[in-house]
């Protein structure tokens, strides 16, 4: 059965404010959250009412500052902790815009699940807004690994998350679950799943300022042999269902609705956040999947020509922030004839040059009269070569703008092949007149 919200293409917010209060799961301090409607294109915004100036922290994956046992947003002196359970409920209901006004550093833990957040959203009601919803639609399958966490992402007509976990504990062991991320099914089958942990972990976690508010009301407490007395599971596989909550909440930080099937093996907050970053970048590809720039258009912005043009196309472009270039490495590259003959390896300096050219394209977009300008690179720092690049590889140059003042810019570049980092560097460049 389809979910009507799944087919809504306009933004949505709640119809009326609601309030929840309790204790922070990790801080252990009193927590109060008022969730208010917000206008179109606001996004999800957290406001710290308890701090001077009432700073705001957008629910943006680029602002993630902690992923150890929770997801934390913002700087240390104005952060918001444990946002994932509330964000999962908002994402499931296709709520695009709200302001979450907090007294304290985290929303209340409630019962350690997303169920009460779902109930509060449904009681508040939902209204549509006159602005198109942002959607990330996966058109080509891809995978991602982060430590022990592995993810496969596939095209899907909707939003589904499947997860598998494995713990060396008699109650958990190997568990797998899969759910459509739509309000009805999620709120009934996934949202009630609570966070969990071994009682033997408590001392070490408390020493790091974690799980200070965990108790039998918001956590499935496990002994070494089973479940602590007085706690009953809501589902036999409640543990993996809670992991689905975490995945949905963390991926909401991508800042758009998701149309894909996410298959997560041993998901973690760190892995979820890396996947959210990857998904977020898909917003900056043309809707038809074509490149942003082909080689012919690159000629208009860069003075390089064969054999020194080392960017074949631009796949993604976020003005003033990030650009992704592609180089198809073939055996016909002229440098292979003299660089390790019989064992062709792309010279590291050529990889860095490809990064520089990709970054240069981003800089040219930031200046007026770009046809009268050139980009000169001034310095390289923290250069590391991780793996060789060989004929047949597709080399991606992922460039992030760190700072741009006057005509001088700092960029961070990462080169990857099949998702594996092959090189990285920090570059400084200057825009000059021709």
pLDDT at 4 over 60: no
**What value does the mean pLDDT take over residues 85-93?**
97
| Of the candidates 330, 322, 320, 375, the residue with the CA atom closest to the CA atom of residue 353 | 375
Residue keyed to tokens 């930031």: 366
Question: Rounded CA gap, 304 and 355, in Å?
Answer: 13
**Structure token pair of residue 282:** 């898909």
Q: Name which CATH class applies to 293-433.
A: alpha beta
Phi-psi region of 125 (alpha: psi -120 to 50; beta: other; left: phi over 0): left
Question: Rounded CA gap, 248 and 280, in Å?
Answer: 14
| Of the candidates 388, 382, 383, 374, the residue with the CA atom closest to the CA atom of residue 420 | 388
Rounded percentage of the chain residues whose pLDDT exceeds 90: 60
Mean pLDDT rounded to a whole number for the chain: 89
Determine the topology of domain 4-131 in CATH. Ribosomal Protein S5; domain 2 (3.30.230)
**What value does the mean pLDDT take over residues 117-141?**
94
Q: What pLDDT does 2 receive?
A: 42
Report which secondary-structure segment, H or E, holds 265.
strand 257-265
Q: What is the pLDDT of residues 143-187, one digit of tens each?
A: 988 889 999 999 999 999 999 999 889 888 999 999 999 999 999
Q: What pLDDT does 90 receive?
A: 98
Counted residue by residue, the chain has a size of: 434
Question: Is the Cβ–Cβ distance between 347 and 335 less than 8 Å?
Answer: yes
What are the residue numbers of the active site?
269, 339
**Domain spans in the chain, listed from the N-terminal domain onward:** 4-131, 136-284, 293-433
pLDDT at 7 over 70: no
| Bridge partner residues of 425 (DSSP) | 413
Q: What is the pLDDT of residues 369-402, one digit of tens each?
A: 767 778 888 899 999 999 999 999 999 999 999 9
Task: Respond yes or no on whether the N-terminal peptide bond of residue 307 is cis (omega within 30° of 0).
Answer: yes
pLDDT at 285 over 80: no
Question: Rounded CA gap, 117 and 109, in Å?
Answer: 10
Write the CB contacts of 408 (distance below 8 Å, at least 6 apart in sequence): 378, 428, 429, 430, 431
Question: Is the Cβ–Cβ distance between 227 and 171 less than 8 Å?
Answer: yes
Place 136 in a pLDDT band, splitting at 50, 70 and 90.
Answer: very high
Helix locations, 282-429, DSSP H: 295-298, 348-364
**Structure token pair of residue 148:** 């022990």
Q: What pLDDT does 317 receive?
A: 85
**For the residues of 371-404, what is the DSSP string, one character each?**
GGEEEEEEEEEEEEE-S---TT-EEEEEEEEEEE
Listed range (72-76, 228-232, 301-305, 420-424) with the worst mean pLDDT: 301-305
Phi-psi region of 277 (alpha: psi -120 to 50; beta: other; left: phi over 0): alpha
CATH node for 136-284: 3.30.1700.10
Phi and psi of 153, rounded to 5°? -125, 125
């Amino acid at each position: 059965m389809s979910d009507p919200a799944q087919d809504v293409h306009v933004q949505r917010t709640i119809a009326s404010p609601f309030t929840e209060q309790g204790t922070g799961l990790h801080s252990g301090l009193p927590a109060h959250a008022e969730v208010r409607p917000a206008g179109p294109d606001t996004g999800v915004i957290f406001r710290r009412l308890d701090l001077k100036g009432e700073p705001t922290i957008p629910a943006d994956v680029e602002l993630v500052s902690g992923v150890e046992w929770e997801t934390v947003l913002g700087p240390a002196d104005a952060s918001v902790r444990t946002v994932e359970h509330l964000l999962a409920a908002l994402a499931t209901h296709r709520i695009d815009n709200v302001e979450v006004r907090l007294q304290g550093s985290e929303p209340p833990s409630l019962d350690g699940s997303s169920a009460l957040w779902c109930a509060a959203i449904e009681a508040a009601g939902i209204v549509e807004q006159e602005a198109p919803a942002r959607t990330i639609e996966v058109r080509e399958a891809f995978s991602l690994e982060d430590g022990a966490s592995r993810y496969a992402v596939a095209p899907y007509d909707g939003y589904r998350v499947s997860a598998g976990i494995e713990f060396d504990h008699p109650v958990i062991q190997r568990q797998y679950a899969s759910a459509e991320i739509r309000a009805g099914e999620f709120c009934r089958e996934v949202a009630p799943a609570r966070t969990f942990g071994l009682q033997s972990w408590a001392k070490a976690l408390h020493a790091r300022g974690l799980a200070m508010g965990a108790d039998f009301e918001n956590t499935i407490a496990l002994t070494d042999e089973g479940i602590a007395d007085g706690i009953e599971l809501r589902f036999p596989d409640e543990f993996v269902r809670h992991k689905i909550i975490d995945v949905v909440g963390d991926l909401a930080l991508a800042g758009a609705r998701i149309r894909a099937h996410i298959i997560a093996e041993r998901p973690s907050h760190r892995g979820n956040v890396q996947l959210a970053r990857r998904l977020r970048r898909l917003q900056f590809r043309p809707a038809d999947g074509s490149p942003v720039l082909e080689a012919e258009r690159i000629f208009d912005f860069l003075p390089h020509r064969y054999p020194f043009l080392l960017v074949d196309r631009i796949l993604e472009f976020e003005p003033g922030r990030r650009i992704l270039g592609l180089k198809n490495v073939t055996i016909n590259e002229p440098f292979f004839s003299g660089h390790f003959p019989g064992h062709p390896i792309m010279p590291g300096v050529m990889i860095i040059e490809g990064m520089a050219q990709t970054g240069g394209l981003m800089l040219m977009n930031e200046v007026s009269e770009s046809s009268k300008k050139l980009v000169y690179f001034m310095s390289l720092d923290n250069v590391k070569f991780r793996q060789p690049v060989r004929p047949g590889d597709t080399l991606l140059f992922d460039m992030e703008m760190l700072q741009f003042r006057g005509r001088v810019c700092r960029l961070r570049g990462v080169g990857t092949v099949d998702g594996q980092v092959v090189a990285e560097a920090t570059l400084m460049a200057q825009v000059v007149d021709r």
